[in-house]
Structure formats: C-alpha cells, structure tokens
Amino acid sequence: MDIEFNKNDDTMRQLVYRLDEKLKKVKLGGGEKKIESQHKKGKLTARERIEYLIDDGSDFLEVAALAGDGMYADVGGCPSGGVVTGIGQVSGRDCMIVANDATVKAGAWFPITAKKNLRAQEIAMENRLPIIYLVDSAGVFLPMQDEIFPDKEHFGRQFRNNAKMSSMGIIQVAAIMGSCVAGGAYLPIMSDEAAIVDKTGSIFLAGSYLVKAAIGEDIDNETLGGATTHSEISGVTDNKFPNDQACLDYIRSVFDKIGEFEKAGFDRKEPKAPKENPEEIYGIMPDSRVKPYEIKEIIKRIVDDSEFDEYKEAYGKSIVCGYARIEGWAVGIVANQRLIVKSKKGEMQMGGVIYSDSADKSARFIMNCNQRKIPLVFLQDVSGFMVGSRAEHGGIIKDGAKMVNAMANSVVPKFTIVIGNSYGAGNYAMCGKAYDPRLIYAWPTAQMAVMSGAAAAKTLLQIKVASLKAQGKVIEPEAEKKLLEEITDSYNEQLSPYYAASRIWVDGIIDPLDTRKVIAKGIQAANHAPIREQFNVGIIQT
C-alpha cells in the first residue's frame, strides 16, 4: 500500500474510534448511578429491555442514537434524546421499537425527543412496520413546554400518528413499564394492546399531586393509576405482569402469532460478501476534501461479489450510476464522483460537482429503477451543481430540475449514505432528508451545509466587514483575520456530521464497514410496504 493510502486509513480509523467512544457514552444514558437506580427498582433500562425483547443473534439498527448530542447543556443534556429507537426483529418479525430512557430526566420529553419519536413513527408508517412502545416517561419537560406542546410537529402529532397507523392496519403494541402521564397516556391506549408491569407501571391523566390541587382528592398514584387499577377496575390496560421480563415475554408471544404480511416484492438472491476487502474503504476515502478518488472502488467494497453493472459509463462522469446487489437485494446506485478537470488555468478539482450531462443521466437511471421496481441507493459526496456562463447556457438548471423531479417522485424506496460533502442543492438532488429517504446515515467523513466552510466563512466575513463599514467603523487587518477565524470555527462546528445527527438531519453516523448492513436492513423493512403508486414525474422540460 502507498503512503497516501496509509494516511487515509489512519485518519478514518481515528474518526471511527471517536464515533465508537461517543456512542459508548451515549448508551450510558443518564449515567451509571441512574442505571443502578433503575435496577434497584426492579426495572431494566431502555437498552436492556430492547436487548431482552429482540431475537437472539439478531441485529438492532438504531435510529438517531446521537439525537440531542451537545444540546440542552444548560439543563444537563439529553443523551440520545431520552429515548431509544430502531428496527429490530421480534419473534422473526421486523418492527420499530421505541423505548423511553428513564435514566435521562425520568424519560421526560424534550423538543428533540418529540422529533425522534415522530421520525420513528414515520419509518414505521412508510415501511408498514409493526411498532412496539416501551413506555417509561414523566411526560413533557415543562421548562421547554412551548417548544414541545402546541405545534404541528410537536408532542401531539404522535397520537395523531397512532390513529393513522391503526387505520392503515399497522400493528401497535405498548408496554407501560414506568410512568405514563398526562397526554402521553393516550399513546399506549391508542395502541392495539397495552400491557402494564405491576408496581412500577402507572398511567393517569393527572398524578396524585395534581389531583389534590385540582379537586382536593387525596389518593396515592398506585390506587389512582397502577396496574391493578387499570387491569381489574378500569379495563384501560389488557394484562398486568410481575416484572419487565414477563411483560416482554408476552410481547414476544404476541408477535409470534402475527399473520404473514403482503410484500413489496423486491428481488433478492443469496447474499455474497464483496470480493474486494471492505476495510480498504478506510484507505481509499481521502483524508482531504480536495483530493479526488475513484467512487467505483468504494462501491466494489460495498456490493455483493464486488459486481457493479455501470449505466452510461462513458457519459456524465461526475455521477456514477449502476446496478448491483447488497446482501442479496437488487439495488440501483447513484454516486458522486470527485473529478479533476482541466481548464486554461490548469487542473482544477471539482469535488463532486453535478454537470448537466450527469444530471440528465441520473434522471434517466432513476426512471429505469422505478420501471423495474429496484430500490435506489444514493452515495453522497457532492458540492453542488456546476456554475458559470457555460453551465447556465447549457441549461444546468433545467437538467438539475429534471434530476430532482425524477428523484422526488420516485416510488421505489430510497436510501442515502452521506460519505463526504453534502452541500447546497447537491444535497437535494442526491436525496437529502427533505426528499424522504427511508433511511439516511452518514460516515464520520460527512459534512452538511449550504456551502463549504472556507467559502461560507469568506462570504460571512465580507457581509460583516461591509456592515461595520456602513456604521463608519474601520476594521484592522489583524482584527479581520481574527474575525475570519471565529466565523470559520463556528461554521465548521455546524458542518460536523455530529451536528447533523444531533438534530436528526441524518438517522445516525456509522462506521463505513456497516454500510451494507444498514442498507440491507432498510430494504428488508421496505419490503413490508407494497408499492401502490404509479411512478409519474409530471412535467419535465427536455
């Protein structure tokens, strides 16, 4: 291997190590003392409940593990958004699992908690996945109630989704394993079936203190809304169980008896490992954003048997399109290619820029995949669309719109992996979060923003300097340099994949070696949802 490969490999391994360390910390939730407190109450933690519930030896694809990372520091933070969500297998059935983490502020809902719960429900609805709620929450985090309660995408939307999923025939099963209060009480009771754990589970619209304040009645929480009350008197819950394990065993038995689902029918054959060593991705992916690399070498280390049937290989070379299999599933891949182009001034690195011919090719390829019912995989490393008079005169806006139109109207499931840059309109064309990918994950090398850090910092500096001049102020060169550094540092923080993952702009950050697993898990889930719509792009200028 050459020196460049070894440098790249070392850089990627450091990034993956940082990711692993951050995830370890996040998975401790509110910390070891809070975990110990849960155990003393006879309760499992959210992650322990999930581990007990899913099938032995099966993978759990976590969604938004890094939600809330670096947010809410003034109130002690909210690791993983105070809730664990992801796709797991229960009694052989793929399902979405949502488990409140009571070690984080007693499972209280922060704004990011609501966003994460809604993302989990969205994935369940798009893929027609059964959903299991493991409820253990003190309700809304009151200091932030104005950011959680009243708006369309806030707390209440989850109960609207409960009703919608029920009407769609999506199975919902809930277990009340701790507190379940106020509006949150509707979530398990709007599910198909609600189990409750004796002595630790409770459910009521208002707790004993609020009841005392509101109507003057003296009553304890257990009598008011404990397992015995709701299983034997009110009939609100269906069954009670002596502990978490017995409750989870019952859920497994429920899923063991569910009938077969109608499949979408995506093609799958016997999975094959890549012939090329996947670990070589570490050395192929450059340690710098201005260095080119061959995206097809990355693809060969992701797809089965390293076989990739390229579409229009000699045309539109800044995007590579083609057919392959991932863990046996047929896929259509759309991937950006960093190019070195020659101009009158010499060589210029164009970092994943989309040209007119590439956009035209991609649009046609996306249409073909819809015609053939092949799921789409987008590998993003894109700086945007080509600019300048030559590009404009060549109709870049028209061709870009053609690609966005075909991608946005695609009816086959789409999966996006951000492996490098994800800037501006390139993010949109390559199926960013706004375009409904079934799953969107990032590598530790990803960056997301309107433009690169260097370009944005210079633009913001010019605006700031002009503003100061308008006020009659003069900025010295040394002060201007310092201001540029401050702006660059601030913008670079926002470029980080962790910034994106914290706000659920992506569903998580993954080790590049897990890319196959994530895509395969996503297609397996998507196979639960038959395609009912006809592919129609509307009006496209040619």
Q: Which range (258-267, 359-368, 444-453, 464-473) has the least confidence?
A: 464-473
pLDDT for residue 347 is more than 60: no
User: Which pLDDT score is estimated for 490?
Assistant: 74
User: Which pLDDT score is estimated for 449?
Assistant: 83
* pLDDT digits 0-9 by tens, 379-410: 999 988 877 788 776 778 787 889 999 999 99
Q: Which range (68-77, 144-153, 348-357) has the least confidence?
A: 348-357
Q: Is the dihedral of CA 188, 190, 192, 193 positive or negative?
A: positive
pLDDT band at 141 (very low <50, low <70, confident <90, very high): confident
Average pLDDT, integer, range 87-112: 95
The two beta strands, 239-241 and 309-311, are: unpaired
User: Which pLDDT score is estimated for 319?
Assistant: 96
* pLDDT digits 0-9 by tens, 7-44: 999 999 999 999 999 999 999 999 999 999 999 999 99
Q: Is the dihedral of CA 343, 345, 346, 347 positive or negative?
A: negative
pLDDT for residue 282 is more than 70: yes
Domains and CATH numbers, the chain: 31-256 (3.90.226.10), 278-446+506-527 (3.90.226.10), 451-495 (no CATH)
User: Which pLDDT score is estimated for 148?
Assistant: 81
Report d(CA 141, CA 185) in Å as an integer: 15
pLDDT for residue 353 is more than 80: yes
User: Which pLDDT score is estimated for 493?
Assistant: 80
Question: What separation in angstroms does the CA of 256 have from each of 89, 95, 451?
Answer: 11, 12, 50
What percent of the chain has pLDDT above 90?
Answer: 68
User: Which pLDDT score is estimated for 340?
Assistant: 66
Highest mean pLDDT among 71-75, 127-131, 463-467, 479-483: 127-131
Say which residues have a Cβ less than 8 Å from residue 358's Cβ, sequence separation at least 6. 316, 317, 318, 319
pLDDT band at 346 (very low <50, low <70, confident <90, very high): low
pLDDT for residue 172 is more than 90: yes
pLDDT for residue 423 is more than 70: yes
User: Which pLDDT score is estimated for 39?
Assistant: 97
Highest mean pLDDT among 155-169, 420-434, 466-480, 506-520: 506-520
Report d(CA 129, CA 123) in Å as an integer: 8
Beta strands in 165-253 (DSSP E): 172-181, 193-197, 202-204, 239-241
pLDDT band at 343 (very low <50, low <70, confident <90, very high): low
The number of angstroms, rounded, from the C-alpha of 60 to the middle of its chain's C-alpha atoms is 14
User: Which pLDDT score is estimated for 143?
Assistant: 73
pLDDT for residue 457 is more than 70: no
In angstroms, the first-to-last Cα distance of the chain is 46
Report d(CA 69, CA 20) in Å as an integer: 14
Q: Which residue has the tokens 């502990």?
A: 243
The whole-model pTM stands at 0.93
Report d(CA 69, CA 470) in Å as an integer: 39
- Which H/E stretch holds residue 501? helix 497-502
Among residues 352, 355, 378, 380, the alpha carbon closest in space to that of 290 is found at 352
DSSP conformational letter for 2: -
pLDDT for residue 468 is more than 80: no
pLDDT for residue 329 is more than 70: yes
Report d(CA 71, CA 125) in Å as an integer: 28
Report d(CA 318, CA 341) in Å as an integer: 10
Report d(CA 382, CA 352) in Å as an integer: 4
Tokens for 243? 């502990």
Average pLDDT, integer, range 530-539: 87
Tokens for 71? 């947010």
3-state secondary structure of 216: coil
Average pLDDT, integer, range 160-187: 89
pLDDT for residue 344 is more than 70: no
Average pLDDT, integer, range 276-283: 98
* pLDDT digits 0-9 by tens, 179-208: 888 767 778 889 999 999 999 999 987 777
> Quick one: angle between helices 356-372 and 396-408, nearest 10?
20
* pLDDT digits 0-9 by tens, 223-237: 888 889 999 999 899
Burial of 405 (0-12, 13-18, 19+ CB in 10 A): middle
pLDDT for residue 509 is more than 70: yes
Higher pLDDT, 215 or 310: 310
Using alpha carbons only, how large is the chain's radius of gyration in Å? 25
